[in-house]
């Protein structure tokens, strides 16, 4: 039988206050409940022992505690990275990843869709097609899944990257609503400067995000300095080409005064040549100050398309060409590859593929 209760993570503070008032409860209970949901270690309403037993029962009757249920979890051999497979209310499944760094940072990689419509040639998620968008609660409850475990160890979520399954700006409303919840001082209280939204280059949504006046980080997947190559690996390029994407990125920098990151997955023999690096550097310089851009080079992980990683010396040469042009360039140290938790590897193998292409 379907559970028709609304999700507590979808309730605004005002909605919760109204519900409490209708049940004869004091207003301060709203802050207790919201903080317990965002920063606590409880796994159910019954565990919120700072609330009266009767109120816990009423809340359990009215609201679902979480929109996600753990199906399976894997830990990487690196001893840090963990990937969770979560089941949603309709039976769909998604993956989310916890990536601790040196004991002082806990980053979470969030999914925003079940599958993805972008169909990037090297990305396993794209093989699923797009099944549906996630709700705001389904995004937030991924954070809550990891938060409760971290809190039990005296820690907390410090950084969030919207780089899991799906295109975050294709699910714009829910993504932005979740961002506002994560930076809410009464909830997760994560600095917006510790949030990164990744996009494959949806130009209208990049401009829309710039106008939100949220100082979040934007990561744009570029992956080639020319339309012919980018269209081969990223079908979305046929709608918004390299020049359009770089122009939108420049507008984002000008509006937000935030440095932008260009994600560049290195594919051996496809986009990793010195000529490609030189062309990329020239494009970035032509569209703004070099210091306003950061290029994150990502040697491709095992996945679709049969692509392989460049040689280490090829990767370093590519990075050095960018640095010589005054552009900050780093090579990502990919974690969690052994549990398919690296960039481009998230995929739920038993999900069906959508029969119709989604409009973007």
Q: Does 343 qualify as catalytic in the annotation?
A: yes
* DSSP character at residue 38: H
Q: Does 95 qualify as catalytic in the annotation?
A: yes
Q: What is the largest CA-CA distance in the chain?
A: 70
Task: Quote the radius of gyration of the chain (alpha carbons, Å).
Answer: 21
Residue identified by tokens 């507590």 is 8
Give the count of beta carbons closer than 10 Å to the beta carbon of residue 353: 10
List CB contacts of 183: < 8 A, sequence separation 6 or more.
189, 190, 191, 192, 195, 214
Give the count of beta carbons closer than 10 Å to the beta carbon of residue 310: 21
- Give 238-258 as a DSSP string: GTS-HHHHHHHHHHHHHHH--
Residue of 109, 120, 343, 351 marked active site: 343
SS3 assignment, position 322: helix
Residue of 25, 95, 138, 351 marked active site: 95
Question: Are the C-beta atoms of 236 and 201 separated by less than 8 Å?
Answer: yes
Q: How far apart are CA 93 and CA 111, in angstroms?
A: 10
SS3 assignment, position 143: helix
| Strand ranges inside 200-332, DSSP E | 217-221, 260-266, 293-299, 328-331
Which residues belong to the active site?
Answer: 95, 343
């Amino acid at each position: 039988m379907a559970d028709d209760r609304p999700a507590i993570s979808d309730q605004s503070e005002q909605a919760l206050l109204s519900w409490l008032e209708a049940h004869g409860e004091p207003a301060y209970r709203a802050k207790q409940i919201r903080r317990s949901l965002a920063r606590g270690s409880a796994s159910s309403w019954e565990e919120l022992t700072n609330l009266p037993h009767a109120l816990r029962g009423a809340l359990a009757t009215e609201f679902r505690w979480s929109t996600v249920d753990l199906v399976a979890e894997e830990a990487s051999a690196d001893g840090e990275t963990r990937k969770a497979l979560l089941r949603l209310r309709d039976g769909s499944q998604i993956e989310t990843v916890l990536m601790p760094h040196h004991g002082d940072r806990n980053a979470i990689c969030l999914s925003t869709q079940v599958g993805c419509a972008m169909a990037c040639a090297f990305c396993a998620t794209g093989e699923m097609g797009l099944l549906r968008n996630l709700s705001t609660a389904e995004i937030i409850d991924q954070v809550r899944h990891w938060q409760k475990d971290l809190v039990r160890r005296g820690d907390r979520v410090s950084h969030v990257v919207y780089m899991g399954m799906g295109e975050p700006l294709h699910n714009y409303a829910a993504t932005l609503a979740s961002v506002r919840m994560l930076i809410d001082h009464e909830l997760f209280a994560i600095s917006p400067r510790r949030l990164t939204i990744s996009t494959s280059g949806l130009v209208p949504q990049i401009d829309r995000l710039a106008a939100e006046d949220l100082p979040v980080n934007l990561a744009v997947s570029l992956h080639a300095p020319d339309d012919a190559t980018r269209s081969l690996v990223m079908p979305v390029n046929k709608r918004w080409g390299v020049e359009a994407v770089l122009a939108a990125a420049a507008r984002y920098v000008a509006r937000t005064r935030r440095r932008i990151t260009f994600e560049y997955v290195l594919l051996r023999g496809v986009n990793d040549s010195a000529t490609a690096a030189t062309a990329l550097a020239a494009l970035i310089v032509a569209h703004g100050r070099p210091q306003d851009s950061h290029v994150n080079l990502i040697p491709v992980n095992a996945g679709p398309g049969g692509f392989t990683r460049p040689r280490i010396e090829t990767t370093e040469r590519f990075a050095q060409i960018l640095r010589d042009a005054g552009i900050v360039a780093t090579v990502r140290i990919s974690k969690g590859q052994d549990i398919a938790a690296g960039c481009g590897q998230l995929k739920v193998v038993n999900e069906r593929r959508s029969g119709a292409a989604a409009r973007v």
